[in-house]
Amino acid sequence: MLRAISHDLRTPLTSISGHAKLLMKNDSTINKLQIQELSAYIYDDSMWLINLVENLLSITRLDEKIELKLEANIIDEVVEEALKHVDRHLKQHEFSLNLADELLMAKMDVALMIQVLVNLINNAVKYTPINSKIELQTKKINDELVLEVSDNGPGITDKAKEKIFDLFYTDENRQVDSKRGLGLGLSLCKSIILAHGGQIYVKDNQPNGAIIGFKLPLEEVLISDE
């Protein structure tokens, strides 16, 4: 695990230091547009590192069996907060929210659930071409809250579906930036959802693409008369 993480850290750190060095030179030949591009590279790599650290911290919490801070929360509010932390390249896709008309509430550790949503959305961004359609949908099925992130990208092979939630697994047949292939995100999502007493799954989107979703037991929404 340490070897895999160390290898994955080296590339973005080298990129950050290299681009920062160019900016520090304050060379008059570097124009405003180039400065913006270099800054964007630094930002993207640093955000990727932040997400990696958040995933590792979440894994540590689960491995140490720290008691989850389970409280009833409305999923719409958790989605809203998660969207503040997703990959900025989501703007290069056609993203849509399809939230249930009724308030859906479930017991959850908010910090961990936000990490799940960030990972699912970032995964869709990472594995689909620019201008692909990505949708986050919530709905109620029987007594369960269901949340799905779907895309119309190249999809996931049947072989990959069997391993996609395994630690360190990355689908070699899907196009992805090589420095972002550690394979922690979906494995962590599975661990978190199972710790919440839920289920996680992957299936084909129609006519093309993939859907990754999860189910959690619903909590009753109590409305005060006051």
Interval 115-165: pLDDT, tens: 999 999 999 998 999 999 999 999 999 999 999 999 999 999 998 898 888
- Is the pLDDT at 35 greater than 80? The verdict is yes
pLDDT category, 37, cuts 50, 70, 90?
confident
Q: Span 66-90, mean pLDDT?
A: 91
Please report the pLDDT score of residue 185 as a whole number.
81
What percent of the chain clears pLDDT 90, i.e. is strictly above it? 47
DSSP for the chain, written as a single string: -HHHHHHHHHHHHHHHHHHHHHHHTT-TTS-HHHHHHHHHHHHHHHHHHHHHHHHHHHHHHHHTTPPP--EEEEHHHHHHHHTTSS-GGGGGSEEEEE--SS--EEEE-HHHHHHHHHHHHHHHHHTS-TT-EEEEEEEEETTEEEEEEEE-SS---HHHHTTTTSTT---TTS---GGG----HHHHHHHHHHHTT-EEEEEE-SSSSEEEEEEEE-BPPP----
Please report the pLDDT score of residue 7 as a whole number.
62
- Is the pLDDT at 208 greater than 80? The verdict is yes
Please report the pLDDT score of residue 20 as a whole number.
86
Please report the pLDDT score of residue 170 as a whole number.
66
Global pTM exceeds 0.85: no
Supply the mean pLDDT for the chain.
85
Lowest mean per-residue pLDDT among 6-20, 40-54, 205-219: 6-20
